[in-house]
Structure formats: C-alpha cells, structure tokens
Chain A
Amino acid sequence: MSTQKEGAQDSCPACKSRIDEESLRANLMVCPSCAHHFRMEPIDRIDYLADKGSFSEICKGMKSLNPISMEGYIEKLCEAEKKARMSEAVITGTCAIGGVPVVLALMSFSFMGGSMGSVVGEKIARAILTGVDRKLPVIVYATSGGARMQEGIFSLMQMAKTASAAAELDRAGLPLFLVLCDPTTGGVTASFAMLGDITIAEPGALIGFAGPRVIEGTIKQSLPEGFQRAEFQLEKGFVDLIAPRGEQRGLFIRLLALHGFGGPAKGANDANGAKGGAA
C-alpha cells in the first residue's frame, strides 16, 4: 500500500495532497491533511521523544563484520552507511523523558531495511540488559524487514539473543515498551518486537511475520484491505493500543508513571494519551 520513496517527496502517498518537506518535518513526518505516518529516522524521533540534550548513545562504535564471508556484503554495508547516515540499523542509548531516565533503542528502515544482523541483535540485547543493570525501563522503536540474510545463521540467532535479553528484563520486573513502526516484519516481529509488556503501534503500520507477498504467494489470492496493519493487529489482539506520533511522548510519561517511574502528576498534561479501541 504505502510504497513510498525515500527522501524528498512532494505529495502524500495516502491522500495525494501536496506537502513540502519542511512542513512535513515540522509535523513529525505526519501528513497534515490525512495523518498518514511517514517513516521517521531515529535521530528525529530522539529530538521529539527525549528531553533536550539528555540522549547519550551506547555501543556507538559497534560495526558489522562479514561472518559467513558473503560476497558483496561489505559493499552493501558501506552503501547503507552513506545512504542512511547511520553506522547500523539501530541507535541505542539512555535519555530522559519528562525527567524520567529510560533506555531507548530506535531502529531505522533506511539502513538495509532495518534488517537484524549481529550488530542490531547485540545492540538491542545490550540496551535491554542496560535496563536490567541500571534498573531502568526500556523503550524500543521497532521497524524492520526481518533478519539480515547476508549474515546467514547468525542473523537467525539474534532472535534468540534479543529474546533472552527480554527474558532477563522480564525476570527483573522492569517494563519493556515496544512501539511497532511501519513496517515491522520477519525475525524482528518473531522476537523482541512481540515481547513488550506494553505494545504500541503507529497508525497504519504494517506488522506481521511473513511479508504480504509471501503470504499471497502461499495462498494464491490477494490479501484483504488493511491486512496486517496496526488497526488489524489491534482488532486481533496483538497490540495494546495505537498511538499517533504526536501523542507518544505524553503517553510514555503517563506509562512510566504508572510503572512507578516518575510522579503521577508530572507531565500528565504534556500531551493527550493515545487512542485505544476504535482508533
């Protein structure tokens, strides 16, 4: 449905109304006319979510190797680095939201489709374990096409690794908050992305295990409108709520307070909460 192109665009793929880059950015990459959520880069999400200047990156210098000597992989990584202006498909760190310290991990679809290889798996796992060590809540923004196939079996094993870290946070009684962004599929869906205590989806996000084309190929028919979208997943019971982007920071302040992090009054009027139920 939303096969939007990367980079500058002059119209919304959903409602076709004209938008310029600047007003789109000013509106958190959400179409002012129809509220279509464009993809958003981690760096911009940090700007919006975290208290000013509070973000401190961890595992910044971690880089991929070529564990199964896959032809062309190193070149692909170099290209991705230039294109996405990130060293890997996830940024992790600590920050404060409404004065409450948290661990934050944000994935980028621009870096090789947000695919999870050794570095993504390790950074996500370490972010979650940082939560365990420092007794902090962990917030993960997921977006991914799935496993980084160029890393072969190691990409598969990152699913186990991130799930093992999530288990440790679970046992420590600390909350894992997941925000599923467009798209979240494959091995990421089948591991940490579905292990949140609270699972939030961005409106319209594609969320599933198998990609739509794979399913169509299996069942030999086209998929119903809205299949695997956030609203579908809410209806089927796999997400707790759908939160428009502009409401996410306020929602986190409330959620953190409800989990015993930060005072209940503080920041409650920061923004309105998210819509549950009929979004």
Chain B
Amino acid sequence: MSGIKKVQNRLEELGKIAADAGIDIADELGRISAKVEKSSLSARVWQRVELARNPDRPRALDIINNICDDFIELHGDRHFADDPAMIGGIGFIDGIAVTIIGNQKGRNLKETMARNGGMANPEGYRKALRLARQAEKFRRPIITLIDTQGAYPGLGAEERGIGEAIAMNLREFSQLKTPIICIVIGEGGSGGALGIGVGDKIYMLENAVYSVISPEGYASILLRDASLARHAAAMMKITAEDILGLKVCNGIIREPAGGAHLDPATASGAIRDVILRDLKDLMTRNPAVLVRYRNQKIRKFGHFTEE
C-alpha cells in the first residue's frame, strides 16, 4: 500500500513541476496512476487467492480437531460410496452436540490424491445431506466448513448425477429445521461450495475467497485467456471484504497475522467463538421461524430493476 502511495505522490509532484514549466501532462499522469492502482488491486486480491489455496492452511479436519472436545467421523452416503473429499461427523463444541460437514483437501500430493483435491463427487453431497437430515432428527445444529474449488467435473460424477445431488442439497438445506452455520475456510468455489453452503449464517475467514467460478475459469471462458486469472480475480469481487460488502456473508472471521496457516490454533479459536456466539442465539429460535428467515434471506440475493 505505502509503495503505491509513494508512486502516486511522486506522480503528483511531477505534475506540479510540469505545470510550473507550462507543460500539461495531467491526463497522462492520471492514466498511469489508474494503472498503478489497478495492478496493485490485482496483486492484493491474488495474494488472498494464494493464501486461500495455501497447502499449509488448516483443513476442515484440522479445524474440527481444534474446536471439538470430541469428534466422531461418520462415513458414506448409503447408496454408492464414501467420498473422502467430503467429510462429516458429530462432536461436542463447548458441550453442545453438533454435526459438522466439510470439504476436505489434502496437504501433500498423496493426501491431495486421496481427497481428490477436495472436489467431491455426488456421493459426497449425498453423504452431506444424509448427515444433515440426521442432525435435524436429533436436533443438532449443523456447521459446514467450505473449502473446495468446486464439485468434481468427472465422468462418474456426471453419470451419478452431480447436478441433481447439489440441487437436492440446496432445496433440502433451505428447509432443515435446525440451525445451520456455514463458514468458508479457504476456497469457496461454485456450486460445489454452495452444495454445503445454504444456511442461517454465512461467514468467511479473512483470507478465504468465494466465487461462482475460479479466476482461472473466468479468465479462460469470458476473457478467453487463462493467463489473465489475476486480472479476473480482481474483477470478480471474491474476497471476504467484497462478499461482506455485497451482503452475501454475515461476517468475516479474522485470521492471525500472515494467515491462518501460521497459527491454526488461534484461527480455530476465532471460528469456535463465532460458532458459539451464534448458536446461543439460533438455538433459541422456533424452528419454523428459523426456516422462514433463512428462506427470506436467500430470496433477497440479487440486483435488478422493475419498471
């Protein structure tokens, strides 16, 4: 930031010197200043994207282990398989029994392969729905931890109806009579993120991003050049501040200086505090009212005019 400011101050000085000498270069300096600002925005946003994707960043299971007093992982969708890219289970947070569902990425190559890079197949979304319904049955609140580039775009995923699986989650999560808190902990990408992203409260970690498509995808489809990802990232409004400003999330959970990967325990503590604060409120609400508010909020997303 200060570097940019210095350049801009220097440009201003140059403008004054030129004006004193009777030369008008204000327009040209303005253009340079705008360019500097734009590239600094790209750089700042891209730094966030890199932090969100940092392999050392705490993953869903790391956070769960930090915030739960006891956690039992549960497996399988009861129809096809267990999807290691989507994890879930039950545990206590400060004495409150909760169901936690999350996208799980790996940390090294071997883990990443085993977790399919955190990109779930239909069975992952169906497992999530099974656990969510179970949570409703036993009156447990649901916490979702979102961290995926998107659902897996593979042959088997299509054959087994990835579109239907996500669609069903959107519909059913909107109706579950139990509190749902969704937290984007890293990458929130596309329908794959939203598949566990419908809830009463949506939070983002400070360095998380949330977008309809990856910056690379946006660049290659709309800008027809995948190498323009940095540029696309700045245009797409994907940082936690952007998403909060657009009123799509309820708040930002601050990370330790330098990012959550430098101090996962502190980052997890901040997540735990937010969950506990919100659960105290959400758990007192009448379930029917909770569902009504949730849907009223969902229906407000969007900007348009009516004649």
Take A119-B304, A170-B171, A210-B162 as given contacts and tell me if A153 and B299 are in contact as well, using a CB distance cutoff of 8 Å. no
Q: Does B163 sit at the interface, judged by CB under 8 A?
A: yes
- The CA of A180 and the CA of B174, in the complex, are separated in Å by 24
Q: Which of A157-195 contact B (CB under 8 A)?
A: 157-161, 163-168, 170-171, 186-187, 189-195
- The CA of A218 and the CA of B116, in the complex, are separated in Å by 12
Q: Does A240 sit at the interface, judged by CB under 8 A?
A: no
Of A13-21, A66-74, A103-111, A255-263, which stretch is located at the interface? A66-74
A153 touches B295 (CB 8 A): no
B238 touches A218 (CB 8 A): no
- The CA of A25 and the CA of B188, in the complex, are separated in Å by 44
Take A157-B248, A167-B174 as given contacts and tell me if A187 and B161 are in contact as well, using a CB distance cutoff of 8 Å. no
Give min CB distance, A12 to chain B, whole Å.
27
A147 touches B153 (CB 8 A): no
Take A164-B174, A214-B153 as given contacts and tell me if A122 and B305 are in contact as well, using a CB distance cutoff of 8 Å. no
- The CA of A209 and the CA of B175, in the complex, are separated in Å by 23
Chain A window 211-234, contacts with chain B (Cβ cutoff 8 Å), 1 for yes, 0 for no: 000110111000100011000000
- The CA of A167 and the CA of B218, in the complex, are separated in Å by 30
B303 touches A67 (CB 8 A): yes
A190 touches B166 (CB 8 A): yes
A158 touches B304 (CB 8 A): no
B307 touches A61 (CB 8 A): yes
Take A68-B246, A168-B295 as given contacts and tell me if A121 and B236 are in contact as well, using a CB distance cutoff of 8 Å. no
A118 touches B212 (CB 8 A): no
- The CA of A168 and the CA of B162, in the complex, are separated in Å by 23
- Who on chain A is nearest to B248 by CB? A153
Q: Does B170 sit at the interface, judged by CB under 8 A?
A: yes
B212 touches A215 (CB 8 A): no
- Return the 3 tightest CB-CB contacts between A and B, nearest first: A61-B307, A118-B302, A210-B153
28 contacts between A and B (CB under 8 A): A60-B307, A61-B306, A61-B307, A62-B307, A63-B306, A67-B303, A122-B302, A150-B222, A153-B211, A153-B246, A154-B248, A154-B301, A156-B190, A157-B301, A160-B194, A160-B301, A163-B174, A164-B170, A167-B171, A167-B174, A168-B295, A189-B167, A208-B158, A209-B153, A209-B157, A218-B153, A219-B155, A238-B163
Given contact pairs A152-B212, A209-B191, A214-B153, a sample of 8 additional A-B residue pairs in the complex whose CB atoms are under 8 Å apart: A60-B307, A65-B304, A118-B303, A152-B237, A164-B174, A166-B171, A186-B191, A190-B167
